Amino acid sequence: MSEPPVGPDEGHEDARAYTPAQVRESWLLRRRQKIREEIERNRRGEYKVPTWVLAALLVAIVLGWVLFIVLVGH
């Protein structure tokens, strides 16, 4: 059973139809290119703090406050 084509402007007559496999491959290629560009920026010194580091820092701060409140409250 073949999967229906997916793509932009499906109603447009000269729109290109993409299979789900092509969409997935295209996403993967864009993701790899984005990672390459980020690595190049980092090598030039244009790096930012990764989101996961900021999230971990936020969790640590919140847990620290909760522990402080619980331990000092008793």
Q: What is the pLDDT of residues 29-55, one digit of tens each?
A: 999 999 999 889 888 887 778 888 999
The predicted pLDDT at position 59 comes to 98
- DSSP structure class, residue 6: B
Region 51-68: mean pLDDT is: 95
The predicted pLDDT at position 42 comes to 80
Region 63-72: mean pLDDT is: 95
18 has which bridge partners?
6
Q: Token match 């864009």: residue? A: 30
1, 19 contact by CB (below 8 A): no
Percent of the chain with pLDDT over 70: 78
